[in-house]
Chain A
């Protein structure tokens, strides 16, 4: 092949590649629409913020590939709050007043969400938090939406599963942070479900051994054991002292990080959650496939929550216009939305609107997630 024909061939190939890229990707042009995002990439909340950032970056690519916001590209300015509410607040101020973002996504943790909500609420900037609704003040903030379920819903899902396996006597192992918050909702609900909490044992966050607490739960002879924690330790201890009753875990433990740390104990544990990447629901398949191609790993709930938040704000911008005021964007957001994680309705009182029927129940079998057929019908 001569030199000139080689060059001609190369030019031809390049233009073909260019054409095919054009065919798949819609072109975006003009000034980017800026959206701020605050996640905890470092610090105690890094297990949430890391996955959320991956979800956001993937969503940004996806939204722009599909035409952006009325032809303009969307741009997420992602900041790390180091799991600290003060840092979250100063980052929010910078994003809103310095960078002039249209809306804010995040933060990852409840304390930071409450802090940032004070600014977004006062300045009518739409916010979609990667947390469940927390203290009462958040109910008054009608433009701070939440893409994760409130703890009351998590507690209800645990009890629904207990009811389905006819477990009336429940033992609980919970940590002093996340576990305490869920327990506060679980106690009053248990009566309603006719469930008796025969042993409720607490351990500190970061505890390296909870064997004695587990032994007390075992001694109370429950029909099933709830574990509400963000650590692998209680799961290992429960298996070590040979508790054979079914173990149901709250969504806080549903990450690969914890499951890997459970080792052989990651077996026969049921978790009410939303995304099982190994066996996604039909409407979750496209997201899961795209995620796997991009990151070479399997997504779980937090990746999906961030992806949903990004698409919800994009949909609102497309509806209300790229330069719409915060108030208009808020109005545009207040509609039912079918996301990858769940079905939301931000006009609901809890600023989430996730129904119990959005929960799926995964089961760890030999360290692998499987999806059980059990769903809650409302």
Chain B
């Protein structure tokens, strides 16, 4: 095992970790705000990325505008899902399992719609910062991956500031911790839940757009991202969006270091064994207790 191989594994681990983190943060933001485990978080990524691809290639929009359009589409779909489905089910006191089934159904429907309307083909987006790479000790990392890492960290910090510094963020947190109590102080709990979905959709779409230049997007990508994002969110503590960031990085690094340390054949065995151990030792997730304090 050479130093350059370790460095390469670290690059890959951090890059993948940030992707898992972005999906996981959206997942846990929605869970925090609505107690819905959103099995279609990965589909938000597909919607955002596919919209950006279509705006860029078919509608001929400039890249930054197409990215904004893609991110907005995720937010709009998030809002639509809350207004059209979640709101009615919540009014009838639907259980967490019913919501889970709803989002699984929506995930399959959205994936099939992408297949039907856009087709089987995978699509790529141009990398931010061009095709250039940074080479350190023979280990290679794309400029785009550096952008992804920077934007991912930025989004994480912004999310934290949003929850702690803004009235609306504090209201959302209040509505999620005690809906009745929040309502008596004049917080519109239903609207806060809509905002929660808007933000979940926005984060998911942003993750999808950022990851597409590296891994491409097709109709099947959603489920893959949801699974990894869910693992990241649970690992970090599902009620704490910051935990998802920690969980995502842990998962990404464990995966890639397992490949060079042991064998690629046992990558998942090693990675998930580590996760099981962490969950046994820290059942609330790595940042579980911090999450209780409001994360």
Complex contact B8–A241 (CB within 8 A): yes
Is A28 interfacial (CB 8 A cutoff)?
Answer: no
**How many residues of chain B get a CB closer than 8 Å to chain A's CBs?**
39
Convert B193-212 into 0s and 1s, putting 1 for each residue whose CB lies closer than 8 angstroms to a CB of A. Answer: 00000000000000000010
Residue in B12, B120, B221 whose CB lies within 8 Å of A211: B12
Residue in A232, A236, A240 whose CB lies within 8 Å of B140: A240
Q: Which candidate, A12-20, A70-78, A200-208, A343-351, is the interface stretch facing chain B?
A: A200-208
Is A372 interfacial (CB 8 A cutoff)?
Answer: no
Complex contact B216–A261 (CB within 8 A): yes
Complex contact A215–B139 (CB within 8 A): yes
Nearest opposing residue in chain B for A42, CB measure: B115
Complex contact A242–B124 (CB within 8 A): no
Convert A237-270 into 0s and 1s, putting 1 for each residue whose CB lies closer than 8 angstroms to a CB of B. Answer: 0001110000000000000011011011000000
Is B265 interfacial (CB 8 A cutoff)?
Answer: yes
How extensive is the interface on chain A, given as a class? 20 to 34
Complex contact B5–A216 (CB within 8 A): yes
A-B contact count (CB 8 A): 86
Convert B217-242 into 0s and 1s, putting 1 for each residue whose CB lies closer than 8 angstroms to a CB of A. Answer: 01011001100000000000000000
Complex contact B8–A261 (CB within 8 A): no
Complex contact A208–B12 (CB within 8 A): no
Is B166 interfacial (CB 8 A cutoff)?
Answer: no
Residue in A46, A204, A208, A236 whose CB lies within 8 Å of B120: A46
Is A120 interfacial (CB 8 A cutoff)?
Answer: no
Nearest opposing residue in chain A for B13, CB measure: A212
Residue in A46, A47, A258, A261 whose CB lies within 8 Å of B124: A261
Complex contact B5–A219 (CB within 8 A): yes
Q: Which candidate, B94-102, B181-189, B256-264, is the interface stretch facing chain A?
A: B256-264
- Residues of chain A contacted by B255 (CB below 8 angstroms): 212
Is A327 interfacial (CB 8 A cutoff)?
Answer: no
The CB with the most chain B CB atoms within 10 A, among A201, A212, A216, is that of A212
Convert A190-234 into 0s and 1s, putting 1 for each residue whose CB lies closer than 8 angstroms to a CB of B. Answer: 000000000001111010110111011001000000000000110
Complex contact A241–B140 (CB within 8 A): yes
Complex contact B124–A263 (CB within 8 A): yes
Complex contact A206–B140 (CB within 8 A): no
Within 8 A of B (CB), among A114-168: none
With contacts A204-B268, A208-B215, A236-B216 taken as known, whether A260 is within 8 angstroms of B11 at the C-beta atoms is no
Q: Within the assembled complex, what's the spacing in Å between the Cα atoms of A40 and B162?
A: 48
Complex contact B224–A208 (CB within 8 A): yes
Is B133 interfacial (CB 8 A cutoff)?
Answer: yes
Q: Within the assembled complex, what's the spacing in Å between the Cα atoms of A213 and B122?
A: 22
- Residues of chain B contacted by A204 (CB below 8 angstroms): 267-268
The 7 closest A-B pairs by CB, nearest first: A261-B122, A215-B8, A211-B12, A263-B124, A212-B256, A212-B259, A208-B215
